Structures are given as C-alpha cells and as structure tokens.
Structure 1
C-alpha cells in the first residue's frame, strides 16, 4: 500500500499572454509604430524608422523570452516523513532536495507593505527559497496552505 502525500503542489510561473496574444501585441505595436514612422520618413528623418523597428524587435524578444519561462516549475511534496522539493529550470536542469519535516521551518519574508516577498525553508544547514517566480498574492496563499500542512506533519 502506497502512502499518500500530506501536501502536493506544482508551482509554475504565470504568463498572461499566449503565443497568439504575443502576435496580436506585436501586430498592434507595428501599426502604432508605423504612424510616427511614416511621418518621420516624410520629413526626411528616415533613421527614426529603423529605431522604431528596433523597438518592435526588442518587444518581441522580451515577450517570447517571458513565454519560455513557463517551462520552469517547482514540485513540492510533503510526506509524513519527508519534504521533497524538485526544481526544473526553463533549460531542463533539475535539482531535487529532500528534508525531514521535523527539522525544517517555513519562513515568510514580508516587505514594509506586508506583501510576501520570499518563502524560505530553513534548516540547520541553511535555507532554500521556494516559489521565487510567484506573485506576492500567490506566495501568501501557498504559504498559508503549506504552513497548515507542515504543522499537521509535525504532530
């Protein structure tokens, strides 16, 4: 009989734009950049057109780089006798850590406005940050759920 985990979560970065959304944003940006581009070209300031095109290319690069970040994730599983953390980067590099839940503590770091800025697993050997790519609201809700599960595991 396999035991079931006390808590399991798959943390992934949130991306609001799909590939189709990126195409729409770039198309809209091209149309909007062409309006001043045509005006500057007509006045004889044709180098401005190239700079506007460079802006569109940089925006496209930034949006596609952001979309590639969705391939990263963290898998956190709390068993009665172990906490397993598996982190996979966008390039596919994997790091796996395992801790005894009786010897760890969840540290929630907050800023001056009481927003959660970091979640850390504290051990005798050091600390490990989890959910680095989550928004402050997502970090807060994860910390609450994980904190309850961790306290149940220590009973």
Structure 2
C-alpha cells in the first residue's frame, strides 16, 4: 500500500500576460508609437520612426521571452521519511534532491519591511533556495503551509 505524502506542492512561475495579452500590449504600443512617428516623419526626421519600430520589436521580444519560463517548475513532496525537491528549468533540465526531514532546517528570509525574500532549505551539505520565482506573497503562503508539515514529519 502506498503512503500519502504529508505535503505536496507544485510551484510554477506567475504568468501575468497570456499570448493574447501580449498581442494587445504590442498593438497598443504600435498605436502610441505611431502618433509621434507621423509627426517626426512629417518633419523629415524619418530615422526616429525606425527607432520607434525597434522599441516595439524589443518590447515584443522581452514579453515573449518571459513566456518561455512557463515550462519551469518545482515540485516539493514531504514524506514521513524524506523531503523530495524536483526542479525543472525552462529548458527541461531536471534536478532532484532528497533529504531526511529530521536533518533539514527551513528558513524564511525577510527584508527590512518584513516581506519574504527567500525560502531556504538548509542541511549539513549546504543551503538550497526553493520557490525563487515566486512573489513575496506566494512565498509567505508556501511557508505558512510547509512549516507545520515539516514539523509533523519530525515527530
């Protein structure tokens, strides 16, 4: 019979824009760039129009590059006798770590304004940061759920 985990979480990066949202932002930026573009073109400063087009192209590249992170995730599973962390990068490279929960310390690092900046798993071998791509609020919620589960595993 298989045992149920004490805690399981799948952490994924936040996607603020969908591909349709990116298209909307680019269309809006094109319209807004066209206004001064026409004025500069009418004044004979046509190279500015090319630079405005370059700005739009760079904006499109930046927004679509951020969508590539959608394939990255971290899977954290806490069993009574093991803490398994599986990290997959956006390119599909996988790293799997396993620890004894009794020898693990969970640390929440905060800044001067009491926001969570990092979540760290510390062992004798070193420290490993989890949920690096999470927002401070998401890190806070994860810590609130994970800490009691880790305490249960140590009993």
- Cα deviation for residue 70 of structure 1 reads 1.2
CA distance in 2 between counterparts of 1:113 and 1:45 reads 48
CA distance in 2 between counterparts of 1:33 and 1:53 reads 8
Give the SS at the match of 1:92.
Answer: coil
Runs of 4+ in 1 over 3 A off after TM superposition: none
How many correspondences in the alignment? 155
**2:64 aligned residue:** 64
- Cα deviation for residue 16 of structure 1 reads 1.4
What does residue range 3-152 of structure 1 map to in structure 2 within 5 Å? 3-152=3-152
Normalised to the residue count of structure 1, the TM-score between the two structures is: 0.99
Deviations 1:7-35 (A, max 9, x none): 00000000111001101110111111011
Deviations 1:79-116 (A, max 9, x none): 00000000000000000000000000101000000000
CA distance in 2 between counterparts of 1:11 and 1:147 reads 16
CA RMSD of aligned residues (A): 0.5
Normalised to the residue count of structure 2, the TM-score between the two structures is: 0.99
The gaps in structure 2 that reach 5 residues or longer are: none
